[in-house]
Chains A and B, each alone.
Chain A
Amino acid sequence: MELLIKNGFVFDPTNGVKGEKMDIAVSDGKIVEKVNERKAKKIDASGMIVMPGGVDIHCHIAGSEVNTGRLLRPEDHFKDFERKTSTTRSGVGYSIPSTFTTGYRYARMGYTTIMNPSMPPLEAKHTHEELSDTPMVDKASYPLLGDWWFVLEYLKDGKIEECARYIAWIMSSTKGYAIKIVNPGGLEAWGFGHNVSSIDDQVPCFCITPREIIRGLCKVNKLLNLPHTIHVHTNNLGKPGNYQTALETMKCVEDLYDGNKPAIHITHCQFSAFKGDDWASLQSGAEEIANYVNTHSHVTLDMGQVIFTDTTTMTADGPFQYTLYELSGNKWVNHDVETETSAGIVPFRYRRKRYVHAVQWSIGLELALLIKDPWKIFMTTDHPNGGPFTSYPKIIAWFMSKKAREAALKRINPRARSRSLLPTIDRELNFYDIAVVTRAGQAKALGLINKGHLGVGADADIAIYNVNPEKTDPSRKYKLVRRAFKRAAYTVKDGKIVVKDGEVLKHVEGATMWLDVQSLEPAKITDDVKRRFREYWTVEYENYPVTEDYLEVSNPIPIKACV
């Protein structure tokens, strides 16, 4: 099918298009030079913004922990539900919506690619079952490898190349996309009821430090030529004073930067940018982190913005989630995933009148605004940890309008307001920057060649928003911008119009992307490895991998490794 999007103001940062009026031609799900104007279906986008489909680098939408969250929180469902329509399926949930609703809500906001950032390899099958049931978007998942026993053992012995071969094997067998590291070493320690408190602490039983894990996996990432960098959730997350740990984590891979591709991605950085000795003296460490990132190119970040609402926190960071339970006294789940990782879930309400929550809200925005290069910091809420992804339009409004930020500042805790850096920041992002932080930058960081831009040959994932950049001043009319980004005028997925005026027209399946890493020499699966699976895992080696036919729509990305 051919499609022609006419007269829109196109924002395509990857190709340097800054709001020029032009037509976008689509044929067979790809963007092409031109189409037969008479035959093609036309969309009149005059007075509207045309952007590539949104890309979300970090949002927990599938897997056993999300599902456990759904079970834990019936109260999240009964107030937010969507009825079945002739095209869509019914669904429930606000902070942890059911899979179908997740897909529809993303598509309504013009998002077409999303990344599920934590998949314990043992739970890969469950994760892929849920991802297959998430329609409208292309998706991928990052396996949690920072505390995987084989990784710890190989890195302890300094066998980087062998470790790389095993990771190549695990990446293909769990159908994963990037190396996710959560609280390196801390999760292994959590199995014994402990945690690590700095990146130079010893991990019990393994004689290795978090620094060695991060550096080792960063080297592995390079040896395997993986498209994304290592995706790191830092040690000490959610503890006052942890901005120093975040800085040390970034510094520890400084020398591994080769000059063109970043070496590390620090995820939901807001939770790692706390300054102060305890909760009472908590302050923002955003300035220090921003200063570092502004002078170094080997690092990318995402925000993990906090939204004042009732949400569900879920991470693989078991010890952090336990701390959160102790703080909130809420119901909780904690889980040690055998030899691989841990996990925890606690419902949480961020209140604007609470000092700590208000400071957190401020830190996220300070980070995004103080880091000068939008290609280095991306918009996320770490859904659902900071708030549901449906709040993205709010964040866009705060980015684009100082007035919007001032309106929000007026309502937060007065002590947090007086300490916030936001009143001193005049920077307002324009639509071009928004296109970077919500799609182009994220696609670039992820190494997605066909996503996040509108050049010829790219996937025809397009979002059209009904706001006129020539007539609308977003800094004054931020409510209009918020409304426009909440309900895309059109969302095009693989060349098909799937959303019009914020309503889903068509239910389409998205593909699951995964890396088919071809190492020069395959990992040696010795009898010893099989024996360990038999002894330490609840799943036998033969049943461990996820086969390709398990995925509803499979999109393997072949990668040639150097080992």
Chain B
Amino acid sequence: MIKLTPAKEFQFPINAECINPDVLSGKTREEIEKLKIWEGNKPKKIGELFKVEENRTENPLEKEAAITIHGNVSKARRIGADMKNGEIVILGDVGMHLGEEMKGGKITVHGNVDSWAGSMMKNGTIEIHGNAGNYLGAPYRGCSEGMHGGKIIVNGNVGTEAGAHMKKGIIKIYGSAGQFVGFRMCDGTIYIQKDAEPRAGACMTSGKIVIGGFLESVLPSFTIDSIKGKVKIEENEVAEGPFYLFLGDRVEHGDGKLYVFKTKNPHLSHYEKYL
């Protein structure tokens, strides 16, 4: 197992795509220290920015991991980008594009992450025990290649446009979500245990969004379909209702499913007369 500790407080963005189990596995400490990493516009070596140690630990949080990072790396971008195997555990905050286009393996963060975590991911798991920024699992601006698979679990809150352009996979948010959750999603599941800001599911064509808390308003391009007692989130996980089921977004001729928890949203009861 490789343990990385930031050698200093970073001032400039670090492009850390080499912090990836596929790259580091099988290398000795000396080899890892010589790997190239960009700090701002200057090429550096990992050894100059991080203290690299090889150690075994009995700490259950990081026991299985191939790489652990101890400390604040909120300036480091693209950690675990393109990774296929192995596990990264980060004890601290982490920067943008965590696990971008990830194809397998697992990333666990005991801290907050910045925007575009799990952007365009294909498979694997990202577990975030703090909050996540904007564009969780979403592609870059203009791109329509959203999440193609895998799982993202956030125990805190997330920013805007979580799961935009999602095509497959699941995002579970145990806090609340910002505006435009599931924007233009085509398939897959997004579960929000707490509240969501408005415009949930805008332009969605298929897929499932489940909101377990308060939602100020449903977009006018959604129509009410029925009231459901419970919703399946994934294997062995069911959200207990009752839920209003809305279909949309009709603007895009979509029939995505938007479930909104009935008990916490009495202001939506006027939809019931259309049932």
Using CB atoms and an 8 Å cutoff, list the residues of chain A in contact with chain B.
72-75, 78, 329-330
Contacts of B142 in A (CB 8 A): 72-75
Residue B144 at the chain A interface, CB threshold 8 Å: yes
**5 A-B pairs whose Cβ atoms sit less than 8 Å apart in the complex:** A75-B139, A75-B144, A78-B140, A78-B143, A330-B144
Chain B contact residues (Cβ within 8 angstroms of A): what range?
Answer: under 10
Q: How far is the CA of A75 from the CA of B143 in the complex (A)?
A: 5
Distance in Å: Cβ of A339 to nearest Cβ of chain B = 32
Distance in Å: Cβ of B110 to nearest Cβ of chain A = 30
Q: Which residues, 243 to 275 on B, are CB-close (under 8 Å) to A?
A: 252
Contacts of B143 in A (CB 8 A): 74-75, 78
Residue B141 at the chain A interface, CB threshold 8 Å: yes
Q: How far is the CA of A144 from the CA of B57 in the complex (A)?
A: 72
Q: How far is the CA of A78 from the CA of B141 in the complex (A)?
A: 10
Distance in Å: Cβ of B19 to nearest Cβ of chain A = 21
Contacts of B144 in A (CB 8 A): 75, 330
Q: How far is the CA of A495 from the CA of B142 in the complex (A)?
A: 43
Distance in Å: Cβ of A409 to nearest Cβ of chain B = 28
Distance in Å: Cβ of B251 to nearest Cβ of chain A = 12
Q: Mark B125-140, 1 if CB is under 8 A from A, else 0.
A: 0000000000000011
Contacts of A78 in B (CB 8 A): 140, 143
Q: How far is the CA of A72 from the CA of B145 in the complex (A)?
A: 15
Q: How far is the CA of A74 from the CA of B142 in the complex (A)?
A: 6
Contacts of B252 in A (CB 8 A): 329
Q: How far is the CA of A553 from the CA of B219 in the complex (A)?
A: 56
Q: How far is the CA of A74 from the CA of B139 in the complex (A)?
A: 11
Distance in Å: Cβ of A165 to nearest Cβ of chain B = 46
Return the chain B residue nearest A78 by Cβ: B140
Contacts of A72 in B (CB 8 A): 142
Q: How far is the CA of A330 from the CA of B142 in the complex (A)?
A: 11
User: Max chain A CB contacts within 10 Å: which of B139, B140, B145?
Assistant: B140
Given contacts A72-B142, A74-B143, A75-B142, 14 further A-B contacts (CB under 8 A): A73-B142, A74-B140, A74-B141, A74-B142, A75-B139, A75-B140, A75-B141, A75-B143, A75-B144, A75-B145, A78-B140, A78-B143, A329-B252, A330-B144
Q: How far is the CA of A73 from the CA of B145 in the complex (A)?
A: 13
Return the chain B residue nearest A79 by Cβ: B143
Contacts of B139 in A (CB 8 A): 75
Q: How far is the CA of A428 from the CA of B257 in the complex (A)?
A: 54
Q: How far is the CA of A329 from the CA of B254 in the complex (A)?
A: 12
User: Max chain B CB contacts within 10 Å: which of A72, A73, A75, A330?
Assistant: A75
Distance in Å: Cβ of A324 to nearest Cβ of chain B = 16
Q: How far is the CA of A330 from the CA of B145 in the complex (A)?
A: 12
Q: Which residues, 154 to 206 on B, are CB-close (under 8 Å) to A?
A: none
Q: How far is the CA of A329 from the CA of B144 in the complex (A)?
A: 12
Distance in Å: Cβ of A70 to nearest Cβ of chain B = 11
Contacts of A75 in B (CB 8 A): 139-145
Return the chain B residue nearest A73 by Cβ: B142
Return the chain A residue nearest B139 by Cβ: A75
Q: How far is the CA of A135 from the CA of B141 in the complex (A)?
A: 30
Q: How far is the CA of A329 from the CA of B203 in the complex (A)?
A: 12
Q: How far is the CA of A75 from the CA of B138 in the complex (A)?
A: 13
Contacts of A329 in B (CB 8 A): 252
Contacts of A73 in B (CB 8 A): 142
Contacts of A74 in B (CB 8 A): 140-143
Q: How far is the CA of A72 from the CA of B139 in the complex (A)?
A: 15
Return the chain A residue nearest B145 by Cβ: A75
Distance in Å: Cβ of B119 to nearest Cβ of chain A = 11
Q: How far is the CA of A330 from the CA of B140 in the complex (A)?
A: 16
Q: How far is the CA of A19 from the CA of B158 in the complex (A)?
A: 66
Q: How far is the CA of A74 from the CA of B144 in the complex (A)?
A: 11
Q: How far is the CA of A72 from the CA of B141 in the complex (A)?
A: 10
Distance in Å: Cβ of B186 to nearest Cβ of chain A = 11
Return the chain B residue nearest A71 by Cβ: B142
Distance in Å: Cβ of B62 to nearest Cβ of chain A = 33
Distance in Å: Cβ of B147 to nearest Cβ of chain A = 15
Contacts of B145 in A (CB 8 A): 75
Return the chain A residue nearest B143 by Cβ: A75
Q: How far is the CA of A225 from the CA of B2 in the complex (A)?
A: 75
Return the chain A residue nearest B205 by Cβ: A329
Q: How far is the CA of A329 from the CA of B139 in the complex (A)?
A: 18
Q: How far is the CA of A329 from the CA of B165 in the complex (A)?
A: 14
Distance in Å: Cβ of A314 to nearest Cβ of chain B = 16
Q: How far is the CA of A329 from the CA of B205 in the complex (A)?
A: 11
Q: How far is the CA of A75 from the CA of B145 in the complex (A)?
A: 9
Distance in Å: Cβ of A447 to nearest Cβ of chain B = 41
Contacts of B141 in A (CB 8 A): 74-75
Q: How far is the CA of A74 from the CA of B143 in the complex (A)?
A: 7
Distance in Å: Cβ of A328 to nearest Cβ of chain B = 11
Q: How far is the CA of A73 from the CA of B140 in the complex (A)?
A: 11
Distance in Å: Cβ of B253 to nearest Cβ of chain A = 9
Q: How far is the CA of A344 from the CA of B143 in the complex (A)?
A: 19
Distance in Å: Cβ of A330 to nearest Cβ of chain B = 8
User: Max chain B CB contacts within 10 Å: which of A72, A73, A78, A330?
Assistant: A78
Contacts of A330 in B (CB 8 A): 144
Return the chain A residue nearest B253 by Cβ: A329
Q: How far is the CA of A78 from the CA of B252 in the complex (A)?
A: 27
Return the chain B residue nearest A347 by Cβ: B144
Distance in Å: Cβ of A446 to nearest Cβ of chain B = 36
Distance in Å: Cβ of B230 to nearest Cβ of chain A = 33
Contacts of B140 in A (CB 8 A): 74-75, 78
Q: How far is the CA of A451 from the CA of B142 in the complex (A)?
A: 40
Q: How far is the CA of A329 from the CA of B249 in the complex (A)?
A: 14
Q: How far is the CA of A73 from the CA of B141 in the complex (A)?
A: 9
Distance in Å: Cβ of B256 to nearest Cβ of chain A = 15
Distance in Å: Cβ of B16 to nearest Cβ of chain A = 18
Closest 4 CB pairs of A and B: A75-B143, A74-B142, A75-B142, A74-B141
Q: How far is the CA of A75 from the CA of B142 in the complex (A)?
A: 6
Distance in Å: Cβ of A520 to nearest Cβ of chain B = 52
Q: Mark B60-79, 1 if CB is under 8 A from A, else 0.
A: 00000000000000000000
Q: Mark B214-239, 1 if CB is under 8 A from A, else 0.
A: 00000000000000000000000000
Distance in Å: Cβ of A412 to nearest Cβ of chain B = 23
Distance in Å: Cβ of B183 to nearest Cβ of chain A = 14
Distance in Å: Cβ of B213 to nearest Cβ of chain A = 32
Distance in Å: Cβ of B101 to nearest Cβ of chain A = 10
Return the chain B residue nearest A75 by Cβ: B143
Q: How far is the CA of A72 from the CA of B252 in the complex (A)?
A: 20
Q: How far is the CA of A302 from the CA of B143 in the complex (A)?
A: 32
Q: How far is the CA of A364 from the CA of B238 in the complex (A)?
A: 53
Q: How far is the CA of A330 from the CA of B165 in the complex (A)?
A: 13
User: Max chain A CB contacts within 10 Å: which of B141, B143, B252?
Assistant: B143
Distance in Å: Cβ of B115 to nearest Cβ of chain A = 15
Q: How far is the CA of A365 from the CA of B137 in the complex (A)?
A: 41
Q: How far is the CA of A75 from the CA of B140 in the complex (A)?
A: 7
Q: How far is the CA of A73 from the CA of B142 in the complex (A)?
A: 6
Distance in Å: Cβ of B148 to nearest Cβ of chain A = 15
Q: How far is the CA of A522 from the CA of B56 in the complex (A)?
A: 89
Q: How far is the CA of A78 from the CA of B143 in the complex (A)?
A: 10
Return the chain A residue nearest B141 by Cβ: A74
Q: How far is the CA of A293 from the CA of B149 in the complex (A)?
A: 50
Q: How far is the CA of A75 from the CA of B139 in the complex (A)?
A: 9
Q: How far is the CA of A72 from the CA of B144 in the complex (A)?
A: 12
Q: How far is the CA of A72 from the CA of B143 in the complex (A)?
A: 10
Distance in Å: Cβ of A270 to nearest Cβ of chain B = 26
Distance in Å: Cβ of B139 to nearest Cβ of chain A = 7
User: Max chain A CB contacts within 10 Å: which of B140, B142, B144, B145?
Assistant: B142
Distance in Å: Cβ of A357 to nearest Cβ of chain B = 18
